[in-house]
Amino acid sequence: MNLQNHMKRSTLFFTISLFLVWGCRPQQPVAVDAYNYPIVKHDTFQHAAVSSAHPLASEVGRYILEQGGTAMDAAIAVQYALAVVYPNAGNIGGGGFMVVHTKEGQSYTIDFREKAPGSAHRDMYLDSLGNADLSKSQNGHLASGVPGSVAGMELAYNKFGTMDFKKLIQPAIDLAEKGFTITEREAKGLNRMKTDFVKYNTQTPAFVKEQPWQDKDTLIQSDLAETLKRIQQHGSKGFYEGETARLIVEEMKRGGGIISEQDLKDYVAQERKPIVFDYKGYEIITMGLPSSGGLVIQQMMEMIKPYPIEQYGFQSKEAINLMVEVERRAYADRTEYMGDPDFVDVPVAKLVDTMYVRSRMADFTPLQASRSEHIKAGLVKEKEETTHFSIIDKDGNMVSLTTTINGAYGSRVVVGGAGFILNNEMDDFSAKPGVPNKFGLLGTEANSIAPGKRMLSAMSPTIVKKDGKPYAVVGTPGGSTIITSVFQTLVNLLDFDMSAYDAVNKPKFHHQWMPDLIYIEKDFDPQARKEVEALGYVFKERENIGRTEVLLVRDGKIEAVGDNRGDDSVAGW
Ligand code: GLY
């Protein structure tokens, strides 16, 4: 080939490459404005999208995606950003679960759930009379498990990262160091928590100030910025060893906690086998143990499959009756059998075996309420404050990630000098297996405390494919309601063919076997309630159920929704 032809070809190749690389990228990635940002509830994007609990975290994700980062790169950046802008549940002091589906069609899950410290033991929350003292498993230093988030993000980065890690964590460092304006909801949350922050901390954290927080006040977290810089420089060693580890252990000593230097050094995040199953032609990819979420969702969807729920209609008495009865049975199984698979033998294959699952519905009579006392005994107990985000990138990589410090603002303990909140995840164990706790709930041996064991979770990050292509990314916080919220959202999308907006924002209900009640949100349809009450069910109104983040791909576009129940916000391009 002569030089001229070669140059022509090269120019053409270069032009085509540029078009391919830049053709579906925005001209100029727009930097995140920490002081001036809208909350975007609902939007449609052509290429890539993020939905998370905080607008700034979604914006960070969008910024990474616009620079050519993958959904996995963006997820790491969003996780760290949430640790700064959403102290309620975003974290480096907690744990979570990540479900990834790559453009090559592979599914992976990462378990970065917290673990019980090495000196934890089965009866550590029992008083001298043998009664469970839940104030210790719920608040303060003794409530914390060994955090997993930093190790989880490192495992994710080593497996999937394409951008420089330093760039992924930098937005979080900037937000912590230079500050950002808080939302009205965050201001209220911090004001509500002030007494606890003062009570459980020996050093005043950045979250406490003399005057009440107001909407649009600036929150600067200098200690947290330094911790994030140590992670930026040394990776997970910047957290589990050295200065940060020293600060955590000192904090434990000051407050009577038991996380040791060795516990931190020993923590490892794990890749687990994803749960993958078919539901009426859709491929559902979700999280397995030590989260119960995926297994319980698989059981429930398998149980409803033989019934024409799409003909019953959304929140008709037939649909609610069926869904409550499958929830009751699946939650009973969860209670009885599920725990950390590294410690207990969970009969996973049996629990999702079609014959077994269907046999669980043998005593179901349509349009009749059964009673939990006749189904099986046990307990489900979860705290509510967790957070979820969903991401799709321009190539069709998808990430569904749910992360938590358990209760709102976790244990309320902020590690002195390190600026981050520790989880109160120990409360997800059964403090006293086999005996009702002070709320009248029961626990079982499968989820009893043991050193190094992971507490059972309900987190249910989920991905859906249709005809081999990305269809939906779904997940939510909400403690024990996580599983039923994801279940309802899936049924809303796959059976009732709803828009993502409706699937997220329509009122939800929840049954968890014990107590034998249907919890409903305040705006639940009164007529539906009346009709279902007539079947023999008891209802109880409660606060919001879940804060679901959904991305839905229909007609080549991504419908992105941030739940109206919070500051949840979407971004994309
Ligand atoms: N802490 C809530 C859960 O893991 O399910």
DSSP annotation of 454 = B
pLDDT tens profile 177-225: 999 999 999 999 999 999 999 999 989 999 999 999 999 999 999 999 9
Q: Which phi and psi (to 5°) does residue 142 adopt?
A: -75, -10
| Nearest protein CA to atom 1 of ligand 1, as residue | 406
Q: How far is the CA of 207 from the centre of ligand 1 (A)?
A: 24
Residue tagged 């941030």 (tokens): 562
Annotated catalytic residue 183:
no
- Supply the DSSP string of 340-409, one letter for each residue: -TTTS---HHHHT-HHHHHHTTTT--TT----GGGT--------S-EEEEEEE-TT--EEEEEEE-SSTT
- Asked whether the CA dihedral 43, 32, 566, 226 is positive or negative, the reply is positive
Are 63 and 32 within 8 A, CB to CB?
A: yes
293 Cβ closer than 6 Å to some ligand 1 atom: no
Number of the ligand 1 atom closest to the C-alpha atom of 480? 5
428 Cβ closer than 6 Å to some ligand 1 atom: yes
Query: What is the predicted pLDDT for the residue at 24?
Result: 57
**Pocket test residue of 388, 459, 460, 483 for ligand 1, highest count of atoms within 8 A of CB:** 459
488 Cβ closer than 6 Å to some ligand 1 atom: no
Question: What's the one-letter identity of residue 82?
Answer: L
Are 315 and 324 within 8 A, CB to CB?
A: no
Residue 53 to residue 189: CA distance in whole angstroms = 14
383 Cβ closer than 6 Å to some ligand 1 atom: yes
| Nearest protein CA to atom 4 of ligand 1, as residue | 457
Sorted by where each begins, the domain ranges of the chain are 1-573
Q: How far is the CA of 383 from the centre of ligand 1 (A)?
A: 6
For residue 531 the two structure tokens come to 């009709």
Query: What is the predicted pLDDT for the residue at 90?
Result: 97
**CB-side neighbour CA atoms (13 Å) of 135:** 3
Question: What's the one-letter identity of residue 248?
Answer: I
The arrangement of strands across the sheet holding 398-404 comes to 270-272, 107-111, 95-101, 398-404, 386-392, 49-52, 569-572
458 Cβ closer than 6 Å to some ligand 1 atom: yes
403 Cβ closer than 6 Å to some ligand 1 atom: no
**Pocket test residue of 137, 424, 425 for ligand 1, highest count of atoms within 8 A of CB:** 425
Number of the ligand 1 atom closest to the C-alpha atom of 427? 1
Query: What is the predicted pLDDT for the residue at 30?
Result: 86
Q: Which phi and psi (to 5°) does residue 277 adopt?
A: -150, 165
Residue 452 to residue 531: CA distance in whole angstroms = 48
Average pLDDT of adjacent 10-residue blocks, the chain of 573 residues: 40 39 63 96 98 98 97 98 98 98 98 98 91 88 97 98 98 98 97 96 95 98 98 98 98 97 98 98 98 97 97 98 96 91 93 92 93 63 76 98 95 97 93 52 76 95 97 95 97 98 98 92 97 97 95 97 97 97
How many CB atoms are closer than 10 A to CB 102? 18
Query: What is the predicted pLDDT for the residue at 131?
Result: 86
Give CA separation, 330 vs 203, 335, 336, 380, in Å.
44, 9, 10, 11
Query: What is the predicted pLDDT for the residue at 299?
Result: 96
Question: What's the one-letter identity of residue 566?
Answer: G
Q: What is the CA radius of gyration of the chain?
A: 23
pTM of the entire structure?
A: 0.92
Query: What is the predicted pLDDT for the residue at 130?
Result: 87
Helix (H) or strand (E) holding 165: helix 165-178
Number of the ligand 1 atom closest to the C-alpha atom of 428? 1
* Closest alpha carbon to 461 in 380, 388, 405: 388
Q: How far is the CA of 35 from the centre of ligand 1 (A)?
A: 32
Helix orientation angle between 149-160 and 71-85, rounded to the nearest 10 degrees: 160
3-state secondary structure of 451: coil
Q: How far is the CA of 477 from the centre of ligand 1 (A)?
A: 8
pLDDT tens profile 471-482: 999 999 999 899
Give CA separation, 358 vs 354, 372, 490, 514, 535, in Å.
6, 18, 20, 21, 22
**CB-side neighbour CA atoms (13 Å) of 296:** 39
426 Cβ closer than 6 Å to some ligand 1 atom: no
Residue 328 to residue 332: CA distance in whole angstroms = 6
Residue 479 to residue 477: CA distance in whole angstroms = 6
Q: How far is the CA of 302 from the centre of ligand 1 (A)?
A: 23
**Pocket test residue of 113, 297, 331, 386 for ligand 1, highest count of atoms within 8 A of CB:** 386
**Pocket test residue of 380, 428, 486 for ligand 1, highest count of atoms within 8 A of CB:** 428
406 Cβ closer than 6 Å to some ligand 1 atom: yes
Number of the ligand 1 atom closest to the C-alpha atom of 113? 4
Question: What's the one-letter identity of residue 452?
Answer: G
111 Cβ closer than 6 Å to some ligand 1 atom: no
Residue 477 to residue 465: CA distance in whole angstroms = 22
| Nearest protein CA to atom 2 of ligand 1, as residue | 479
Residue tagged 């009664």 (tokens): 131
Q: Which phi and psi (to 5°) does residue 399 adopt?
A: -130, 135
Q: How far is the CA of 425 from the centre of ligand 1 (A)?
A: 7
Q: Which residues contact 128 (CB under 8 A, 6 or more apart)?
A: none
- E-strand stretches of 423-538: 462-466, 469-474, 509-510, 518-521
- Supply the DSSP string of 103-154, one letter for each residue: TTS-EEEEE---B--TT--TTTTB-TTS-B-HHHHHSSGGGPPBP-HHHHHH
Q: Give me the catalytic one of 227, 244, 335, 386.
A: 386
